[in-house]
Structure 1
Amino acid sequence: MSTHIIKRIAAVALSCAGLGLLPAMGHAQEIDSTISRIKSTHTFTIGYRESSVPLSYVGPDGKPTGYSTEFCLKIAAAVKDYLKLPELAIKYVPVDIQTRQALVANGTVDISCEGAVNTWTRQKQVSFSPISWVSAEQLLVLKSSGIKDIKDLNGKTVIVATAGTSEPTLNRLIQQDHLNVKIMHVNTHSAALLALESHRGAAYLSDNGAFYGMIKAAKHPEDLAVVGPELSYQPEAFIIAKNNPTFSWIVGHTMSDMFKSGEADKLVAKWFGPLGVGISPKLRAAWDTYSFPE
């Protein structure tokens, strides 16, 4: 082969690599690794939160439970049927905001079933199921704090979750409204509740979907209030690993069937109904959008 032809082949290869048409060396990821792992181990691993009521938490019997958990048990049953497995064990692994993406990405967890907000930044590392719940960022405060709106945060300590989506929102509000605010970081909703009740923080900025369970768990629920405008659209979903088309199809198809059959509505009534919460127009729209025909 002539030197000229070799140079032409090398040039084409470099062009293809630059366009992303060739796999990156050292970064290849096995396709459908989640399905392969489940087939070989006959185990389905669910990531759960320990205190995110009513989405995902440890129940009185010491076992993971909640709205999101029930969705994922239905998905597990669909995986078992799809793979025609005689048995499928369910394994639970605790996750939090800091660990859940990495645990899914490295294969420790097959699906993280709690209340993760689907963002473009997170999609660089992981993929997501269809939307399971829709919340919005608001403020949870003690009524005695006098906080009723964003401007009332000036001079106060505001609590946010470490590595969550609310700190960028708070930073935007600080600049936009010229607020003098001290930021307190917590790792769990229960830690945020404790900070509020002990007056170490004046307001908790987070997804309002978490507030229902926090208020219920409070020593004096009547002292707490959700205040201020809804600051964002927070589409919550279940985290799954990238490059898993078969598993993603099973997850999406299962949830779509639940949206169409009314089974998802029953889960909302079971877990959110006692808290006085129903299906919002945004959640219904998200479900309708994903209710594809067969």
Structure 2
Amino acid sequence: MKIQAQWWAGLLMAVWSVASAADINTLQRLNETGTLRVGYGDTAPFSYTDDEGNVLGYSIELCQRVAAQLQQQLGLPTLDIEYVFRTPGNRVQLLNSGDIDIECNASTNNAERRRSAEFSLSHFFVSVRFVALKENQFLTLQDLAGRSVSVARGTVNVSQINQANRERQLNLSVVPVETLQEAFDLVTEGRVAAFAMDDILLSTLIAAAEEPSAYSLSEEAITAEEPLGLLMREDDQAFVAQVNQALRTIYRRGDMQVLYERWFQQPLPGKGITLNVPMSDTLAQHFMNPQG
């Protein structure tokens, strides 16, 4: 009976969440409140907080520009931003409950994620790789056969590594944890062989480690190049259209290279590290001719 009660409670919560999301008219709420609720995470260089608690990052600065452009497009006297911390595991729930209107971070835009949320035009492109201790010389998925791999719960990387595990019969032990830092720390401590995640985020974690030279990124990519986008509520098409209109305007101004360099090729504020990752040809072409 207890299991049945829990099942019904879970079902009712899911129905309530979907119903709540359907009841939210984001554009109307922006007009009424003058506030855009922005979800952020601990995912430098896309979004993070500095020592003084300021929310900043590449995605955050982009969303600040989006908010300014939305204010013009919607004819609003003001449009303030309220920042709400989210985790990979609760971001869709916070969208559906109305706690956030848009997630400004680094969510992968793929078929699995589009079943539960809407995406903006892309603002970055990544491939999934894994990080391991350099001394172990794990450079390909086959090198990990029979070993353990950490993943961040609530990310698409969970299903991606599970799919690779099945298709290639690697006999991996997949270890889900709550945060990217926890997953990385398991590698540092030797408790797992590797951590699978978007390559740019792994590069950031390596750069911030006490001994960056102790780690290596896999030579083999687990996925092909995939787009990242700003995440919004499912079926919130009117708001998505306004955000995409704002992004097209921003991209065509021609200063995205400057914004990109600030977060990927210059010292990260509050971090003391520099990623030195040049803009990919794919992203440069997208900014010149945004599709979607």
Which has the higher Rg, Structure 1 or Structure 2? 1
In structure 2, relative to structure 1, the CA distance for the partners of 1:266 and 1:75 (3 Å cut) is: same
Aligned 8 A contact 1:126 1:241 in 2: yes
In structure 2, relative to structure 1, the CA distance for the partners of 1:34 and 1:152 (3 Å cut) is: same
Name the structure 1 match of 2:179.
Answer: 188
**Off by >4 Å, runs of 4+ in structure 1:** 26-32
Name the structure 2 match of 1:277.
Answer: 277
1:258 and 2:247 correspond: no
Identity of aligned residues (%): 25
1:210 and 2:201 correspond: yes
Q: Deviations over 1:106-146 (max 9, x none)?
A: 32101100000112222222111100110001011110122
In structure 2, relative to structure 1, the CA distance for the partners of 1:273 and 1:76 (3 Å cut) is: same
Q: 3-state SS of the aligned residue for 2:111?
A: coil
Partners of 1:291 and 1:117 in 2: how far apart? 16
Partners of 1:99 and 1:28 in 2: how far apart? 15
Name the structure 1 match of 2:31.
Answer: 39
In structure 2, relative to structure 1, the CA distance for the partners of 1:30 and 1:199 (3 Å cut) is: closer
**5 Å matches for 1:4-23?**
none
Name the structure 1 match of 2:137.
Answer: 146
In structure 2, relative to structure 1, the CA distance for the partners of 1:229 and 1:41 (3 Å cut) is: same
Name the structure 2 match of 1:87.
Answer: 78
Consecutive unaligned residues of structure 1, counting only runs of 5 or more, are 1-25
Q: Tell me how far 1:277 sits from its aligned partner.
A: 0.7
Partners of 1:64 and 1:28 in 2: how far apart? 28
Aligned 8 A contact 1:111 1:240 in 2: yes
Consecutive unaligned residues of structure 2, counting only runs of 5 or more, are 1-17, 267-274
Q: Tell me how far 1:193 sits from its aligned partner.
A: 1.8
Name the structure 2 match of 1:234.
Answer: 226
Q: 3-state SS of the aligned residue for 2:121?
A: coil
In structure 2, relative to structure 1, the CA distance for the partners of 1:171 and 1:111 (3 Å cut) is: same
TM-score (norm 2): 0.84
Q: Deviations over 1:203-237 (max 9, x none)?
A: 11111121122112211111111113222222100
Identify the range of structure 1 (34-43 vs 279-288) with the bigger mean alpha-carbon deviation: 279-288
Partners of 1:277 and 1:90 in 2: how far apart? 29
Name the structure 1 match of 2:215.
Answer: 224
**5 Å matches for 1:98-117?**
98-117=89-108
Identify the range of structure 1 (183-192 vs 64-73) with the bigger mean alpha-carbon deviation: 183-192
**5 Å matches for 1:32-71?**
33-49=25-41, 51-71=42-62
1:167 and 2:158 correspond: yes
Aligned 8 A contact 1:75 1:250 in 2: no
Paired positions, count: 266
Partners of 1:94 and 1:27 in 2: how far apart? 23
Q: Tell me how far 1:53 sits from its aligned partner.
A: 0.9
Q: 3-state SS of the aligned residue for 1:61?
A: coil
Identify the range of structure 1 (244-253 vs 218-227) with the bigger mean alpha-carbon deviation: 244-253
Partners of 1:170 and 1:121 in 2: how far apart? 14
Q: 3-state SS of the aligned residue for 1:129?
A: strand
Partners of 2:30 and 2:227 in 1: how far apart? 28
Aligned 8 A contact 1:52 1:114 in 2: yes
The one-letter amino acid of 1:86's match is P
Partners of 2:253 and 2:206 in 1: how far apart? 31
Name the structure 2 match of 1:287.
Answer: 287
Aligned 8 A contact 2:21 2:233 in 1: no
Q: Tell me how far 1:28 sits from its aligned partner.
A: 9.8
Q: Tell me how far 1:33 sits from its aligned partner.
A: 0.7
Partners of 2:161 and 2:237 in 1: how far apart? 36
Q: Tell me how far 1:68 sits from its aligned partner.
A: 0.3
The one-letter amino acid of 1:64's match is V
